[in-house]
Each structure stands twice: as structure tokens, then as C-alpha cells.
Structure 1
Amino acid sequence: MEPEATVNRTNVVTDIHLCYETDNYSYVVTTSPSIVCILLYVFLVLLCVFTICGNLLVTISIIYFKQLHTPTNSLILSLAVTDLLVGIIVFPFSMVFSLSSCLHYEGLFCKVRSGFDISLGTCSILNLCCISVDRYYAVCQPLTYQTKITHHVVVIMIVMSWGLSALIGTGIIISILNSENREERYFINVLMANTVGPTIFSFYLPVIILLCIYLKIFLVAQRQARSIQNTTKSGATVSKMERKATKTLAIVMGVFLLCWSPFFFFITFLPFTSNPVPVPVIETLNWLTLSNSMLNPFIYAFFYSWFRSAFRMIISGKIFQSDLANANLHRPTVCE
């Protein structure tokens, strides 16, 4: 994702990307890139490859293995498809037309790319919210989980996530296109695009929901662990369960906030400042948010042993040698 703030570009954005040079008042890719530029794009290519491969493994696993056809995994599949599209669409375009290029050259391509960027980023966050709701019922209301989180409910959640994301992305594109011929109202349009749209509905509101739900899950998990301790007197088992719950929730929320918070804080306050912003700072924040799409498969799938078993079968090519759709994948224990 990237901010659509180009107000007073000479004052807001400073420095030119190391991979670009000026040519008749336009910015083009330099013919003699520096070592830093080459290393930067090598790193971004690797990030793109890991993002595509990781999410592709999750997608194939859930679609192929029937044992993984559950409501929870359907939400994980939606998240993986979203992050896969980020790797396929947003990553390459962001490397070819980097943020600095789009800040200085605002063509239609950059505006449409921003729509895909914002839509897929929002969809990824909303999918995380849906997964948290699923986990809430699984942990906090296990007796009613199967009746409340059905395949029909999951489909509705997925459709709403994708639909709302597309609506926000389309609205941002329309706002940007309409602002071209209304320079005197540009600040208002930027404020609407940066604060009201992506920041509130794409970040702050979902973050509040995620924090509240995971806090509730954590408290319930601790209460259940203490209840088990009073019943079984197995302090070692309870301690392991509490550490597992704490570690999992810390990783989920920590990585999410680490990747997304700096960018959204930046674009929230950007319209209100006239201080120059170096292009490398903007690019770093932009790619930090995109890197969350690479980390999601590790957080929501790689930690579970049945996914690891599926990945091994896919990578080794066993699924091409025989029909393993009904294979019995290893199920983890409660503490796993």
C-alpha cells in the first residue's frame, strides 16, 4: 500500500530513489544502478518469490487435501489467495514502478495500481479479522462453535471481506481521478483518501477488533488453563499451555502491528505536516506492509503440523505420483 499524498511535492517528498535519475524533468530508471540499488531489488525479488511460494503452498494444500476442508481453513485459504495476489500483482508492479516513480509521475497506471494495493491490503486485514472471530468461537464458545461457524457463515464472511475491500479500493481510485481537475480541493481529497478511507476502515477499526478478540481469547485460555491446573494439578502442562497461548498471540499481533502500524501512522499525519519526507522512508514503510503477506503463511499455517505434512507431500511431488487427497494428515495435540 502507498500514500496518495503529493501535495506540494517539492516540499513533501525529498530525495530521488537510488535506482532513478532525472531526464528532462522526468524520472526514469538509471542506466548505471548502484550496488545498493541492485541489492535492494534482489531482496525485493526474493521477498516476492517467498510470498508467492508460501501462499501457493497453503492454497494448494487446502484445496487438494480433503482433511483440510474445514470452515477455519476456508478463511485461511481466503487469506492465502489475497496474499498470493499481493505477491503476483502488487509486488512486481511496485518493483517496476517503485513508489518514488509514482510520486513524481502520477499516470493512470499508478492510480490503478494504488487501487489494487489498497484493496488487497484491506482484504488481507479483514481476513485476519475473520480468522480471529473463528478462533474466538473455537476457544471461548467451543460447545456452539460448529453451529455458529458453518461453511455458509464462512462464505458470507469471505464475500463481505472481498466486497468491502473492492469497494474501498474503487472509492480511492475514483477520489484520486476526480481530484485531478480540482486542485483547490486537493487537500480535502488527500485527507479523505488517506485518513477516512484506508486508515479507519482498513486499519484502525480492524486493529481494535483484533486486539479485543485476541485479548478475550487470551484471558479465556488462561482461565481454562487455571481450571485444568486445579483439576489435574499438572502445573507443567498448564505452564506449557499458557506459554503456547501467550507466544502464539504475541506473534500474531506483534508481526501484524510491526508491519502495518508505521505505514498507517505515517499516512494519517502526512497531510498535516509540511516537513519534507525522504523517499527511502516512504518506500521502506510501503514494503514493510507488503512483507506481512509473506509472513502470514508462516504464522497461520506453518505453525500447524498438518500443514507441514501437506507441504512435504507437495514439495516432494508425491501428490503427482498418486492420489493423496484423502491422506490422513497428522493432527496436533491440544498444546501443539
Structure 2
Amino acid sequence: MDFPNCTEGVFATSSSDYDSLEAAGLPTSKILLTLTLSIVAILTTVINCLVITAIVVTRKLHHPANYLICSLAVTDLLVAVLVMPFSIIYIQKESWDMGQVVCTIWLSVDITCCTCSILHLAAIAIDRYRAITDAVEYSRKRTGARAGVMVAVVWLLSILISLPPLLWRYHSEDSEQEDQCIITHTHLAFTLYSTLGAFYIPLLLILILYYKIYRAAQTLYMRREASRASRHSCMTNGSMIPSTYPAGDGDVDGGPRSPEPLSPPEKSVSEPSTEEREKVRVPVKTLKSKSRRRESHRTESRRCQMYQGPRISGSRERKAASTLGLILGAFVICWLPFFVKEVIVNTCGACSTSVEMADFLTWLGYLNSLINPLIYTIFNEDFKKAFQRLIRCKVRCY
């Protein structure tokens, strides 16, 4: 992501040095670096294409939550196709030889797509938080149209954040540097605007939401423990058949059921005597008592069923929270070093980074576009099955 000053003072060599480099051929280290970065770009393209295709062709994945994931994959695919190849050429040649028009387009796509990828993670965190904390109400509002609105807002914010750096470039000396394609500035307000909007505010939002999701998962886990205690009480205080499953792993339909009551005795056809009437009254009273106990058992059984929902939901949401935590960890590791460098370099006049370090931090951020779909592949069973079907289909076709 060639954000403001992300490849500062870079890739400028004299023409004589460049000619000698061309005559001698590329060094082995440069060839290996080019191959490595090309492999990263290809893998990012293939995996994000798999995610998009899986969501499009698999009916089970046609869910509003997955629309955000699909939009994230499209954004990461744009980074892989429109940003990474030009960056590889830039690093290999150590100067920009494709003209300022192409440079402007590349910078626009670079900043916008990388910012959009980051904001998508914040949007997914918001969606997951609402789905956990307000499940019943949000399930009604969680429609495809609402997901489309969220995607549109994310793209609009990304454009608003990335537009000022591009406009700044036309009013500075950057556009006059024909052999470079960078944006440099020294204004503190401009640095804060670009870095806060593109990274630090989304990071803070994701951290807060992830913490609340974790607390909500803990609450659901405590409800599951209460469910276990309630089921134990149901089985010990009532005449209910104990489940053969361990506590917490019983039947999803509502747990153990009460046994069927004894069938009433058959009446004699002849008119019963007084003594016989007294004998008949006892089973009738017993039958009424058993009927009341049966109703009581059913009430307790329904109460046990009510606790089954949080138990299942808690298991699913804890898994979702763990997945979100991995996404957050990958996001912080990939992008935090780059944006810390941005703040330090653009606010400290005596501070600078080497060309190699600037390239490394930029590509570390690009790597997040490869990691995002991998996380969904590993931890989402529906995606894994869809990927397996797609891969088997492609193998058969070939």
C-alpha cells in the first residue's frame, strides 16, 4: 500500500548505475525476491477467487454475513491483481518507468483498496457483534439490502480517506519526480487524518467490539453451565428418564422426556357395588395425581429445552469469536508496523527508513489480503466443503 510516504525517497538510481545493472543482469537476491513476491500475488489471487466463487455458486453460503466476506475477498483480489504486480515491477527496476498517469491510477487503487480491506474487517466485526448481542432483532434486519448498504458505506469511506493524499500530490513536488511514484508530506494534520481514518480508528473499533464479543461469549458459556445444572435438577427432582449423553451434549430437541403414564384399569361391564366403587375411586385419584405430575414434568422439560438454545449458541459464538480473534491478530501484525512507521517518519524530520525496510513493511500489509481468506477457509466448515467441491470439480474438468 503506497500510502503517504510508504516508499519514501525510494527506488532512485542514476542512469549509469541502472545501465550497468541491466548489462550485468539481475542479482540472485533480486530474482529470488521477485519470485517470492510473485508467488504471494498468485496465491492471493487464487484463494480470493475461490472465496468469491464458493459464495456465488453455493446456495448455503447465500447469507448477508457472507456478502461482507465476499466484498472483502473482492477488495483483496483487487489488491492482488492491480496493486501487487506494479509494486513488484517497481521494486525490480528500482524506478518508475510507466508514466505519471499510470502512477496516479496505481496510487489511487493502492490506497483505496488497502483502506477498504481494513474497513471491511471493522464492518464484519460490527455485523458479528450485532448478531451476538441482539440476535433476535438483528436477524430480522440482517438482509441482503442492509449488507449492500454496509459495503457501499465502506467503499465510500475508503474513497474519502484516500482522496486527499492524491489531491495533495498534484499540489506538491511529488508529481514532478518522474522516476518515482510516491506521496510525501510533512504536515502533522495530514498524517493524522490519513493514518487515523485508514487504520487507527478501525483498529480501536475492532478491539472494542472484539472485547464485547468475548464478554458476550462468556455470558453464553455461563448460561450453558446454568443449563447443565438445570438439567441435573430436572432429572433428580422429577420422574424423568436420564439422558445417555453427557451433560451439555444431549438431544437438541429438548433433552430427556418424562415417561408415559400407566394406562387406566378397564371398568367392569356390570354395575359395581359400593365396595367396588371405592376400589375404582382409588385408581381415579391416582390417575389424576399422575396426570398432574405429568404436566409438571412437561413444564420442567420445556424449561430444560429453553436452556438448550444458549448452550448451542454459546458453542457457535465462541468459535466465531475465536475466528474473529485470529483475523484481528493477523490484521494487527500485518498493518500496525507500517502505520507506526508512517506516523514516526512523517512527524519526525530526522527519522527515516531504508528502502528495504519500507518495501518490507508495505508488503507485510499486502500479506493481510492473503491471510484473510485463509482464516475463513480453515475455520468455517461451510466454506471448507464448498472449496473441496470446487477443487474436485476443477480436477475432474482437467
- Rate the CA distance shift 1:25–1:39 in 2: closer, same or farther, 3 A: closer
In 2, Cα distance between equivalents of 1:204 and 1:99: 31
> Residue 285 of structure 1 aligns to a residue in which SS?
helix
- Rate the CA distance shift 1:67–1:204 in 2: closer, same or farther, 3 A: same
In 1, Cα distance between equivalents of 2:175 and 2:35: 40
- Rate the CA distance shift 1:35–1:190 in 2: closer, same or farther, 3 A: farther
By how many angstroms is 1:170 displaced?
A: 2.9
Letter in 2 for 1:46: I
Deviations 1:190-211 (A, max 9, x none): 54554312x1111011111111
In 1, Cα distance between equivalents of 2:317 and 2:83: 38
1:316 corresponds to which residue? Answer: 392
> Residue 277 of structure 1 aligns to a residue in which SS?
coil
Correspondence 1:204 to 2:200: yes
Matches within 5 A, 1:264-275: 264-273=339-348, 274-275=350-351
- Rate the CA distance shift 1:317–1:97 in 2: closer, same or farther, 3 A: same
In 1, Cα distance between equivalents of 2:337 and 2:93: 18
**What is the TM-score of this pair, normalised by structure 2?**
0.69
> Residue 171 of structure 2 aligns to a residue in which SS?
helix
In 1, Cα distance between equivalents of 2:131 and 2:389: 28
What RMSD over aligned residues (CA atoms) do the two structures have, in Å?
Answer: 3.4
Letter in 2 for 1:304: N
By how many angstroms is 1:188 displaced?
A: 5.8
1:325 corresponds to which residue? Answer: none
Determine which of 351, 374, 383 is the counterpart of 1:298: 374
What 5-or-longer segments of structure 1 have no aligned partner?
322-336
2:213 corresponds to which residue? Answer: 217
- Rate the CA distance shift 1:43–1:256 in 2: closer, same or farther, 3 A: same
Letter in 2 for 1:196: Y
In 2, Cα distance between equivalents of 1:78 and 1:213: 20
Matches within 5 A, 1:126-137: 126-137=119-130
In 2, Cα distance between equivalents of 1:297 and 1:52: 10
Deviation larger for 142-151 or 76-85:
142-151
Q: Number of paired residues?
A: 310
In 2, Cα distance between equivalents of 1:275 and 1:288: 21
Percent pairwise identity:
31
- Rate the CA distance shift 1:226–1:95 in 2: closer, same or farther, 3 A: same
1:34 corresponds to which residue? Answer: 27
Deviations 1:101-140 (A, max 9, x none): 4689994433432221110011111111111111112212
In 1, Cα distance between equivalents of 2:188 and 2:203: 20
- Rate the CA distance shift 1:87–1:230 in 2: closer, same or farther, 3 A: same
In 1, Cα distance between equivalents of 2:139 and 2:19: 56
By how many angstroms is 1:150 displaced?
A: 1.8
- Rate the CA distance shift 1:251–1:200 in 2: closer, same or farther, 3 A: same
By how many angstroms is 1:145 displaced?
A: 2.1
1:334 corresponds to which residue? Answer: none
In 1, Cα distance between equivalents of 2:20 and 2:150: 43
In 1, Cα distance between equivalents of 2:175 and 2:125: 41
In 2, Cα distance between equivalents of 1:253 and 1:100: 34
Contact 1:119–1:165 (CA<8 Å) still a contact in 2?
yes
Larger gyration radius, structure 1 or structure 2: 2
> Residue 26 of structure 2 aligns to a residue in which SS?
coil
Letter in 2 for 1:163: L
Contact 1:126–1:161 (CA<8 Å) still a contact in 2?
yes
